[in-house]
Amino acid sequence: MKPEIATPTVSIIICAYNAAPYIADTLDSVFAQTFHDYEIIVVNDGSTDDTEELLAPYLHRIKYLTQKNAGPAAARNTAMREAGGKYIALLDSDDQWMPNYLEKMLAQLEADPIIDVLYPNAMLFGAPHWEGQLFQDVCPSTAPITLEKVLTRESNIFISAVFKRAILGQVGVFDEDLCGSEDFDLWVRMLLHGFRFAFTTEVLARYRKRKDSLSSGSVKYYENAMQAYRKIFDEPTLTAAQRKLIEVEVTKIETEIHLIRSKQKIAGREFLVAARHLLEVHAHRPSIKLKLVLASLILFPDLLFWFVTKREANVSISIADAQLPHSVALPEPQSLPQLVTKPTSE
């Protein structure tokens, strides 16, 4: 008779793609936990750097899986299929946990069984602009967590969450057709099924902001969000009011895309096309500033061209902080804080 293999309380899921500069610090933060009843599942999602070599010293302490590059959703799903814990804990390969992360999170989950998903506050680090800020100051949450609050970004769920593994049997796993918004989609499906979310304001993690993160000023960033919202819109259980909220959010995203496109077209000296994009922005976000920019496109388009190309030479098409008259400064796109903005493997 084979001896029974004890199942861990929590399965820690880490997907790694070209994570060589960070993965050791991430794993060390797990090994430093004051709670020890866990398993670590690391999926190498087709890394082309030294990730595998750097993981070699840890292989006796982790469950290590490899696959061809398929993206973070697929990598997390691969790990979750191997998970045996009562709870799933997500950890990005460049983030870190405070030593009492698991102890505090699991104590709250066990003490209040009505909670299905729990997420903490986190300290931002890795980029000077974000250094030392708190996640919940930048991306707030308000209790109770509702579908409406998540759809409108009044509440933003931090990716390093812990949830009951049994939930996945009802809602499914990460949608591998989504890129950059797959976690948002999963949280929404959980809320649609009636699962309850909670958060703690205690700082229990460190969230790395990277220079190669998906920029909130890129069209792809907003297209990822659009894809997730449109998928959610097709959910048959949504109320008319919830569909209206999604329509409003999609309009906001489309407006941001028009704003970015206008800057790109100005940089390409396509002034008429740029004006059309700006008219779309003005239709939904009217302002004196936009009227002045539209006038500038007619009166002195070459100045705007110089303005945009000057900023692009400084590795940004943002022109909000350039040293030119404020009247010709286009507004910055508005970020969608609940989206995953880490680099993906695609």
* Residue of higher predicted confidence among 103 and 337: 103
* Residue of higher predicted confidence among 148 and 332: 148
Question: Is pLDDT at 255 greater than 90 in this prediction?
Answer: yes
Q: Which of 9, 198, 208, 5 is nearest to 103 (CA)?
A: 9
Mean of pLDDT values over 51-68: 97
Regarding the domain with residue range 10-213, which homologous superfamily does it belong to in the CATH classification?
Spore Coat Polysaccharide Biosynthesis Protein SpsA; Chain A (3.90.550.10)
- For residue 137, what pLDDT is reported? 95
**Considering only 31-40, 82-91, 302-311, 320-329, which range has the smallest mean pLDDT?**
320-329
Whether the CB-CB separation of 126 and 210 falls below 8 Å is answered with yes
Whether the CB-CB separation of 58 and 27 falls below 8 Å is answered with yes
Question: Is pLDDT at 304 greater than 90 in this prediction?
Answer: no
* Residue of higher predicted confidence among 122 and 331: 122
Q: Where in the chain is the domain with CATH 3.90.550.10?
A: 10-213
* Cα dihedral across residues 128, 336, 100, 168: positive or negative: negative
**DSSP labels, 241-280:** HHHHHHHHHHHHHHHHHHHHHHHHHHHTT-HHHHHHHHHH
Q: Which of 289, 253, 281 is nearest to 265 (CA)?
A: 281
- For residue 297, what pLDDT is reported? 83
Q: Phi, psi (5° rounding) for residue 239? A: -85, 165
Query: What pTM does this model have?
Result: 0.86
How far apart are alpha carbons 279 and 259 in whole angstroms? 10
Mean of pLDDT values over 296-304: 81
In this predicted model, what pLDDT tens digit does every residue of 221-232 receive, in sequence order? 889 889 999 999
Angle (nearest 5°) at CA 281 between 277 and 285: 170
Say how many Å lie between the first and final Cα of the chain, rounded: 46
Share of the chain above pLDDT 70, in %: 86
As to burial, measured by CB atoms within 10 angstroms (0-12 exposed, 13-18 middle, 19+ buried), residue 17 is: buried
Neighbours of 164 (CB within 10 A): 19
Using omega within 30 degrees of 0 as the cis cutoff, is the peptide bond preceding 128 cis? no
Mean of pLDDT values over 191-205: 98
How far apart are alpha carbons 228 and 10 in whole angstroms? 28
- For residue 324, what pLDDT is reported? 30
Per-chain mean pLDDT for the chain: 87
Question: Is pLDDT at 3 greater than 70 in this prediction?
Answer: no
- For residue 35, what pLDDT is reported? 98
Quickly count helices (H) and strands (E) in the chain.
Answer: 13, 8
**Considering only 67-76, 287-296, 311-320, which range has the smallest mean pLDDT?**
311-320
The pLDDT-based confidence of 252 (bands split at 50, 70, 90) is: very high
